[in-house]
């Protein structure tokens, strides 16, 4: 009896555990924190994406500078990881354009140790909140994580953007200029519009003249016929 009771107790306990309700936490899309990863190296990009996923962040990845700006406009990410070598436009211009769109953009430059001095100048120009060097590790991100959310520096390079990259300013001016109005065709090419009203007026005049004449002539012929001035054979 003791053995049977013990087995039954375990069985009931297992059934109870199997029937327990599972609780799922669904995060609203508005509360989901998004990180933009604009990095040309897929290994580094994937590594950052994994680290941000562990922090419950959603990542949007690209290696194209223009697309990075478009993604920022669409999703308004809380933080941006960016490298210098991007297609279309480089990381410096991409960062400046993002800062031009949003003065509160938090930008972090990713670079190798050999290029750190150059990236420090670019980070100062774009007003970046930090720099991370490769190879990237979780400990490196966590070490500087809190500093990424401190006061955002001023983007000093925005004032010199047109001087540093004049082709960008030129392209923006072209976009603002509206297309020229096509020239009007010469007067000889305009189609002639028939004067319908004038033709109707002429027809009415002829009708008013001919009808009374017809009535008068018909009346005269009738009276002459009655008076037997002539006969109809």
What is the pLDDT at residue 176? 56
Instruction: Enter the tokens of residue 216.
Output: 């008068």
Do 48 and 157 belong to one domain? yes
84 shares its domain with 120 = yes
**Are 75 and 112 contained in the same domain?**
yes
Q: Does 211 share its domain with 135?
A: no
Indicate if 55 and 168 belong to the same structural domain: yes
Q: Do residues 158 and 67 both lie within one domain?
A: yes
Mean pLDDT calculated for residue range 123-145: 96
pLDDT-wise least confident of 14-23, 81-90, 166-175, 218-227:
14-23
**Is the pLDDT reported for residue 2 higher than 60?**
no
The answer to whether residue 96 is domain-embedded is yes
Determine the structural domain holding residue 209 and report its residue range. 192-226
Q: End of a domain among 176, 200, 217?
A: 176
DSSP string, the chain: -HHHHHHHHHHHHHHHHHTPPP------TTT--EEEEE-S-HHHHHHHHHHHHHTT-EEEEESBHHHHHHHHHHH--SEEEE-S--BSS-HHHHHHHHHHH-TT--EEEEE-GGGHHHHHHHHHHHT-SEEEESSP-HHHHHHHTGGGGSPPPP-GGGGGHHHH-HHHHHHHHHHHSPPPPPPPPPGGGSPPPP-HHHHHHHHHHHHHHHHHHHHHHHHHHHHHHHTTSS---
222 lies in some domain: yes
Higher-confidence residue: 184 or 87? Answer: 87
Q: What is the pLDDT of residues 196-213, one digit of tens each?
A: 566 666 666 666 777 777
| 134 and 203 share one domain | no
- Mean pLDDT value across residues 107-122: 96
Q: What are phi and psi of 66, to 5 degrees?
A: -60, -45
pLDDT one-digit tens code per residue, 36-73: 999 999 999 999 999 999 999 999 999 999 999 999 99
Query: What total number of domains does the chain contain?
Result: 2
Are residue 107 and residue 208 in the same domain, yes or no?
A: no
% pLDDT > 70, the chain: 64
The pLDDT, as a whole number, for residue 160 is 77
Q: Do residue 100 and residue 214 come from a single domain?
A: no
The reply to whether 168 and 212 lie within a common domain is no
- Mean pLDDT is highest, among 170-174, 177-181, 189-193, 208-212, for 208-212
- Name residues whose C-beta falls within 8 Å of residue 80's C-beta, 6 or more positions apart in sequence: 35, 36, 38, 68, 72, 95, 98, 105, 106, 107, 108
As a whole number of angstroms, the distance between CA 233 and CA 218 comes to: 18
Q: Which has the higher per-residue pLDDT, 204 or 119? A: 119
Mean pLDDT rounded to a whole number for the chain: 79
Within-domain flag for 38: yes
- Check pLDDT > 90 for residue 155: yes
Mean pLDDT of 73-100: 96
The verdict on 170 and 70 lying in the same domain is: yes
């Amino acid at each position: 009896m003791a053995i049977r009771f013990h087995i039954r107790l375990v069985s009931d306990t297992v059934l109870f555990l199997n029937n327990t309700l599972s609780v799922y936490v669904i995060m609203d899309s508005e509360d989901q924190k998004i990180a933009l990863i604009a990095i040309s190296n897929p290994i580094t990009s994937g590594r950052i994406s994994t680290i941000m996923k562990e922090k419950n962040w959603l990542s949007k990845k690209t290696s194209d500078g223009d697309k990075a700006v478009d993604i920022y406009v669409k999703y308004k990410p809380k933080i941006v990881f960016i490298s210098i070598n991007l297609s279309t436009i480089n990381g410096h211009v991409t960062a400046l354009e993002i800062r031009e769109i949003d003065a509160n953009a938090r930008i972090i430059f990713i670079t190798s140790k050999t290029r750190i001095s150059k990236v420090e100048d670019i980070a100062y120009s774009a007003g970046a909140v930090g720099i991370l060097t490769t190879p990237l590790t979780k400990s490196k991100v966590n070490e500087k994580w809190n500093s990424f959310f401190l006061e955002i520096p001023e983007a000093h390079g925005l004032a010199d953007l047109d001087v540093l990259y004049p082709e960008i300013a030129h392209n923006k001016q072209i976009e603002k200029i509206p297309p020229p109005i096509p020239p009007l065709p010469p007067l000889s090419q305009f189609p002639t519009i028939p004067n319908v009203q004038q033709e109707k007026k002429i027809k009415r005049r002829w009708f008013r003249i001919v009808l009374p004449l017809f009535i008068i002539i018909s009346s005269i012929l009738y009276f002459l016929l009655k008076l037997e001035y002539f006969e109809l054979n």
